[in-house]
A and B are shown apart, each in its own frame.
Chain A
Amino acid sequence: MVNPIYILTLSLAAGFLLTLIDKSGRKLSLTVFYGILSLNVFIIGEWFYRLTFLNTPTVIINTAGFSAPLSINLQLGMQEAFVLLFANLTALLSAVYLFKKFKETHISGLILYLIMIVGVNGLVMTRDLFNMFVFSEILSISTYALITLTETKKSLSAGFKYMIAGGIASTFFLLGVTFIYYFTGNLNLDFIHLGNFSNLGFISIFLLAIAVFIELKPFPANGWALDVYEAVDSGIVSVIAVVNSAAIFFVFYKIMPILPQNFLNVFGIAGVITFFFSNLMGLKQKNAKRLLGYSSIGQIGLLVASLIFTMHLPRSLMYLIVGGFFFNHLIAKAGLFWITGIVKKENLKDWNVLKNNKPLLVLFGILLFALAGFPPFAGFWAKWEFVKMLVHGKMFFVVGTILLGSLFEVIFLFRWFTLSIKGDEKTEHKNISLELSKMFPTTIFAGITILISVLIMKFFYDFNWLHALPVLAVLIINVIDFLPSKIKGILSLAAVLTYGYLIYPLESNIQLFFGIIFIIGSAINIIGTLNRKGKSEGFYGLLLMMIFSFGNLLVAITYLEFFLSWEFMTISSFLLILRGKKAQKASMLYLIFSTAGAYLMMVGFSLAPDLVSNSVLILSISNVSLPIAATILLSIGFMIKSGSLGVHIWLPEAHAEAESDVSPFISAILLKAGVFGLLMVGISYIKHTPSFDIFYWIGWIGVLTAIVGAFLASFQEDAKRLLAYSSMSQVGYIVASIAILSHLGWLSAMYLSFNHMMFKSALFIAIAGVYYRTHTRTMYEMGGLIKKMPLSFISVLIMIIAVSGVPPLSGFGAKWLIYSSFIEKGWYLQAGVLFFASGVSFLYLYRIIHTIFLGQLKYEHQNVKEAPIWFIIPQYIFIIGIMAISMFPNLIIQPLNSIAMRYFNSSIIIDGYTISSSLGYWNGNLVMYVTMGVFVVPLIFLMLFNGRMQKVKQFNIVYAAERPESPQTTHVAHNMYAHYRKALGGWGKPRIWDFWHEVSEWSHSLADSIRQLYTGNGQTYILHIIMYVIVIYFISGV
């Protein structure tokens, strides 16, 4: 047990001695330097351990033999120890990172670094205000001087601006301290109380507080900080952004008790505003370090806000929120700054060098996901609890601002991420040199983020281990990533089936039904991925993560578990989509919409009353009466995932640009997660119907989605995009049927979900096969492939019949159920629109089968073969499924009937194979037999009585007595429904796309105009600070 004062004295002493030590060689001085830093970490680490786990009481260190207030006292409690441990560790790792630099530069660098650590340590521990000033000046001066380690014009000018700003802030601080002393006759925080102040005295408190607050870089008085972040060497910047910020943040925490509530409120709001605007401005940023700077400033703002707004919460929760944000932000930020130093690229577009550098990419990814607050990292939990807290406190405006700011942050961070992975190919690739001294600290920090997230998941929430499975899957698959992809694929298939077996004893049939869609559907689709060659590094990990998250949605018990799985699903699907060749924009769109949806859901869940029973969410939610706002928010969140009209624009991009064997998962299964969620909302809704009928409007949205999706699909040239829009349209039907809130409606929604899973999987896999052979998705470049890929053709044929709803296949059952339910409900016009949509669906269905398989075979495809067997197998499994439920609709109708009966009175009668509703009847079995009969009779007749038949080739056509010129000019495929587009006129314009495009443009221009504040002129920055102080002064109403 070492007296903590040594962490000050040792560093200080070493700092002075280093000049002498250096005379006998840099090696020795470096040894001493790192020795001292490690010792600091060790000492404080021990203290942290004692204070936290052994419940050692808080240590008060009195200097000069007197106790406070007569002398200066230092305090080391758990909080101090935590911050100090963190700061010293970061300082040590930063020093390791700077190893090369320290080896070469003047010894003053090392000295300054140690002095800076003294400043930080002192600042955190001291309880004396003037002492605080001294330590902060020590910290600042050493930091200013450290900046000169890189003597470029940029860093020097940034440093100068920093000094001026810092000087002004410290002047305020000093004035504040002086006046506090004047009014209270005391400088020790423990002896200053709010009650001691006269009205005038509040000014002194204000000066003190605003000085600290300005050091925390509030918007807009923070231009100087951005310049420093951009210009200074990454190693130093990580110290400034992390260690210094942590210390100053802690100072703020320390003085908080003496601040009046109205100050705190203003600062809290100012923090939120900072968070919002810096993230908004980050949108326009192209420079990596400055981008991190914006993010850093924003996060500190959030940190301050979270601290202020959670003061009244129970300690453990407050630690989770503030600690979560603190840790998450600072560690991730340090790591990312280090990575910028390793990559050494300023422009985000040049970051695609990371592509070839897997270890660095993984670190980058981990830190970025942590920074953006995705699970399982600490920021996620903090955000969840924070939002929940704010919502309970009815601070909706703050919640909205924070979430919007977070969204902006996600956008610019992940734009960076996606550009790194999928950036433009043109830039040259030089391998990045991975120096051990730089990689080591980064790796440690990435490790710590993961460790912390594990700890939170284990100790704070105590989740069922199933909920860690998605992450474990990624880790395990990454360990065995050296295996060929086939083996990994088979293992994954086994894993999915085992997982299905594990969760099999489900509580209810509705879970079982979605379990079949999620797990069995995925398992069959995995067969399609077995066609992969090579290693497909990382692919199966993400795939398993996604599938397990689907499953976990079913067994989630609390809102948080559900939301966690939801976020895991989003992350994994985002990364899977990003694996596509040109998927940068597509995956971004997907992520933006998903994140926005997730935030809405977060608020929605926070609004929802607590669950009363301990069964799975889908069951227990029926006992919960969701408020209207929660219903709306949750519904929007789920409808974003299911691609409803208005928020659908991510869908075609993501489906089309994902790798072709991933698309079936995204389309056939992922969208069903949204359906599942919506059904969940519906279950609560029917039990506790509010006065305002939300589902009526959801029904309309679903119906319009169906028609718009169908039209959009008809006008596509890209096969996968067409199928994507088709999915949108089909899910529109499902959403509308859920919204009916009747037995028949839910029956049809589930029936169609099941059907859609099968036929859309098969169609996407068929297109994957075609793409695999022809290397194109553009339909007019294909044609006549029926001759080369008959098995794929048959599969597509059956599936499009199933989609279109033509009897005798199962699609008709869906149509029959849907129309019956709509008429029964009295939604006549909606039913009319759906009829229209189902007519339009013929357009795209014919288009996809004709332009790919029929018509003229192109020269370049004369030698293509049938799709690989791995693509054929799943398709035919699905065909068997479709045929079975077409022939024997009871197989599916009966169980679904019983599921729906749980919520509504049954409205159908099943008699043999005849299913009757109040409106009509349908006997799928008989229809099948009649159809077979009427099909076989003419077939036999034709086979018997046809004359001599000659099979001819593709150009043996009557061509107005000429011969066709080339297959390209003879194949009708491009812009096939031009006349329809013409007929639609203005209705055919992509208005929703335009709308979102405008939103994006506007927010970017807004960001651009706001950031003009930062003119780069140091004097402007001073003006900002002074104006800021004045404005805050008036707002806080001292």
Chain B
Amino acid sequence: MTLFDSVLALLIAILAWRSVTAPDLYRGIVLFITLGLMLALSWARLDAPDLALAEAAIGAGLLGILLLSTWRVLQRAAPRQGSDEPASYAVRWLAVVGSTVFGGTVAVALYGLQVGSDRAGAEALASLDLAGIDQPVTAVLLNFRSYDTLLEMGVLLMALIGALLIRSPLAYEPWHGDTAVESPLMSVLAKVFTPIVVLVGIFLVWAGAYGPGGAFQGGAVLAGAGVLLLLCRRLYGDADATLLLRGLLVLGVTAFIVIGLLLMPWQGAFLAYPPGLVYVLLVVIEFSLAVSIALSLLLLFTGTHAVRAVRS
């Protein structure tokens, strides 16, 4: 299948180039989303189904719709803002030369890489039975290098606080000419799709223990369900967050830290788990993470402190 791979690689390169150079910003965004999907495909081809899922759900899906929504806000605010004043010829040529050299160096360096088997990854695969989880990527994320994951949840929380501080919500208030709102099909969409998406999300979280999936992919899909409801006008952005909602937002990181700190005196190390309890604890942490991730991504999308269901 080298032919398929080569075509895919070529397609990725072309899509990236077109996305960056498209004269029209809207087209650039659409090409970027397409690029994301092609990347997901290529990563599936590269034995990374977890990442393919994550890229499709988060990188192309959520980010794509966020980009489009932002583009629309900009269009409404100042229609001509979308077009870019191009850099001067000299700058562009310099940039072309620079980035070609850079890309060429990367390519040569990559193909010259000698990847042996004496690696941390090999050790991770060999120590799987100590981790309490069979899926290597999840084992790395939640056990071997759980510290990264924990701090990453901090990044997510801070990005969210930052977005809330800006007070620039993407709340969906109908405006004149929003034809989607009046369409009867939207309610069908919400009713049929939401349960399936939620189910898939929960399944993905659960599946992380033994197959492709995990808190991030599952959380992203759950957030996707929320976005769907927002688009169908079943949910709205809201300014006032309850303590419960904020609690759910910080649930993942708090559970992670508290469990780690509580067990530290007994285990002798932070984030070390007793062998008998490791599976249970990791599942608890994974679901807490998924809840927090889903909510954080959803609120990052709306840019509001909370969401509320539509008044019926």
Whether both chains belong to one complex is answered with no
Query: Which A residues are closer than 8 A to B by beta carbons?
Result: none
Which residues of B line the A interface, CB within 8 A?
A: none
